[in-house]
């Protein structure tokens, strides 16, 4: 079986997300890492690519060079991952799509709603995929949640509670650290800080699992470190299309919440609870029954969860495997497209350009609500 060629823009030396993409893409043997422009410094970019095993002529000094050369090769790249600073996501993703490449873009997909809508258009026009790396949706037990909601195990969903709260932004001494400071500088970070860095994942998961979009929000932005121009804590109420009540708390101030990504879904006939720190377990409580611990790899899980599973029950899988599931979905979809087949429906669970756009719309509404005294704003 010929492997699909894969390339990476950004995510160079010292970048953890870069490692996660390189590892996640190759785990199943579907993609081969063949091209990259991974550093803002042209020389380091070339050197780092070669250190990662790229051929010299496909280790590029910048994304423009990569785009130019790759689009003229016979053996084309099948997927390009964009893991550069947020402000460049729109330009780079657009350019690669327009040159005929499928794209997996890091979150947040864009800085503004306008840019996001533009990518939706470009994807439609070019027929190229622009997936968004909400990587946590790749966890088998998150997919199990979606399956259970889908088939009605919980009845109508009354409440969804999404949290992403850790202590990542809690050290006041870091306020001057450039790796943290840029997040609170509107010229680099855009309209929001912890909301686009963390909360956006939890929000997407609420949509992913319930199958609903957010229709309105009421938000309170907090500034635990007062000098910051953007929020480091956000509590938002929201409503979803089919009436589900939504609650979001995202914070960078929550010292001791190691990672703090948690999703709870409560319906008429049961409740689900999942947390990323223990991603192989899902707590499921049918109404008036004991709570059950559903284990990844167990034989009672949905087809979607089993498809996303790799190793046996009891052996933990981690975040890179979740990323690998997005790559598997994309690999299967791209292969089917290339062969003129209809992709497997479950392969279509990767986060789409529309999902990426919807998230930015929600964030914009939250920013407006927070500025206007927490009044309700339509998405």
Show contacts with a second copy in window 245-264 (CB under 8 A).
245, 247, 249, 251, 253-260, 264
Give, as ranges, the residues between 314 and 333 that touch a second copy (CB under 8 A).
314-321
CB of 20 vs a second copy, minimal distance in Å: 6
Structure tokens that stand for 356 in this block: 């990426």
Contact call for residue 293 and a second copy (CB under 8 A): yes
Contact call for residue 23 and a second copy (CB under 8 A): yes
Contact call for residue 300 and a second copy (CB under 8 A): yes
Of positions 6, 33, 60, 184, contacts a second copy by CB under 8 A = 33
Contact call for residue 16 and a second copy (CB under 8 A): yes
Structure tokens that stand for 329 in this block: 């979905």
HSE-up of 263 (CA within 13 Å, CB side)? 26
Structure tokens that stand for 78 in this block: 């099948």
Give the count of residues interacting with a second copy (CB under 8 A).
Answer: 92
Query: Which residues neighbour 194 within 8 Å (Cβ) at sequence distance 6 or greater?
Result: 169, 183, 230, 231, 232, 233, 234, 250, 251, 252
Contact call for residue 170 and a second copy (CB under 8 A): yes
Of positions 8, 9, 20, 202, contacts a second copy by CB under 8 A = 20
d(CA 325, CA 200): 20
Question: What is the x/- site pattern for a second copy, positions 54-93, by CB under 8 A?
Answer: ----------------------------------------
Contact call for residue 152 and a second copy (CB under 8 A): no
Query: Which residues neighbour 40 within 8 Å (Cβ) at sequence distance 6 or greater?
Result: none
97/165 with CB nearer a second copy: 165
Count of Cβ atoms closer than 10 Å to residue 348 Cβ: 12
d(CA 330, CA 125): 19
Count of Cβ atoms closer than 10 Å to residue 131 Cβ: 25
d(CA 363, CA 120): 17
CB of 250 vs a second copy, minimal distance in Å: 11
CB of 327 vs a second copy, minimal distance in Å: 12
Of positions 61, 88, 112, 285, contacts a second copy by CB under 8 A = 285
CB of 242 vs a second copy, minimal distance in Å: 13
Closest CA to 84 of 59, 58, 111: 111
CB of 286 vs a second copy, minimal distance in Å: 8
Of positions 100, 177, 313, 378, contacts a second copy by CB under 8 A = 313
Contact call for residue 14 and a second copy (CB under 8 A): no
d(CA 322, CA 337): 23
Contact call for residue 277 and a second copy (CB under 8 A): yes
d(CA 296, CA 311): 9
């Amino acid at each position: 079986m010929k492997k699909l060629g894969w390339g990476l823009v950004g995510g160079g030396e010292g970048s953890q997300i870069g490692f996660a993409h390189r590892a996640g893409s190759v785990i199943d043997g579907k993609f081969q890492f063949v091209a990259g422009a991974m550093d803002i410094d042209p020389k380091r970019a070339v050197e780092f690519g070669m250190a990662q095993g790229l051929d010299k002529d496909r280790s590029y000094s910048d994304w423009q060079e990569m785009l130019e050369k790759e689009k003229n090769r016979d053996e084309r790249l099948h997927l390009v991952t964009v893991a550069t600073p947020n402000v460049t996501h729109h330009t780079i993703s657009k350019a690669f799509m327009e040159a005929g490449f499928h794209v997996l873009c890091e979150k947040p997909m864009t800085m503004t709603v306008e840019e996001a809508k533009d990518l939706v258009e470009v994807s439609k026009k070019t027929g190229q995929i622009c997936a968004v790396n909400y990587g946590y949706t790749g966890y088998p037990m998150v997919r199990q949640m979606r399956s259970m909601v889908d088939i009605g195990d919980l009845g109508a969903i009354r409440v969804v509670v999404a949290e992403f709260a850790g202590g990542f932004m809690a050290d006041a001494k870091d306020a001057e650290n450039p790796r943290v400071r840029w997040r609170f500088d509107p010229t680099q970070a855009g309209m929001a800080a912890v909301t686009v860095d963390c909360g956006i994942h939890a929000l997407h998961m609420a949509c992913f699992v319930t199958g609903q979009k957010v229709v309105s929000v009421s938000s309170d932005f907090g500034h635990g470190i007062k000098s910051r121009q953007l929020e480091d804590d956000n509590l938002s109420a929201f409503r979803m299309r089919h009436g589900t009540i939504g609650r979001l708390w995202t914070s960078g101030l929550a010292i001791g919440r190691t990672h703090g990504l948690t999703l709870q879904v409560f319906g008429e006939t049961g409740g689900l609870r999942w947390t990323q720190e223990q991603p192989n377990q899902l707590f499921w409580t049918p109404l008036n029954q004991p709570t059950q611990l559903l284990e990844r790899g167990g034989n009672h899980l949905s087809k979607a969860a089993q498809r996303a599973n790799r190793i046996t029950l009891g052996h933990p899988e981690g975040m890179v495997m979740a990323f690998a599931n997005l790559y598997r979905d994309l690999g299967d979809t791209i292969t089917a497209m290339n062969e003129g087949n209809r992709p497997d429906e479950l392969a279509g669970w990767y986060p789409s350009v529309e999902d990426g756009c919807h998230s930015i719309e929600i964030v914009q509404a939250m920013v407006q609500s927070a500025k206007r005294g927490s009044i309700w704003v339509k998405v």
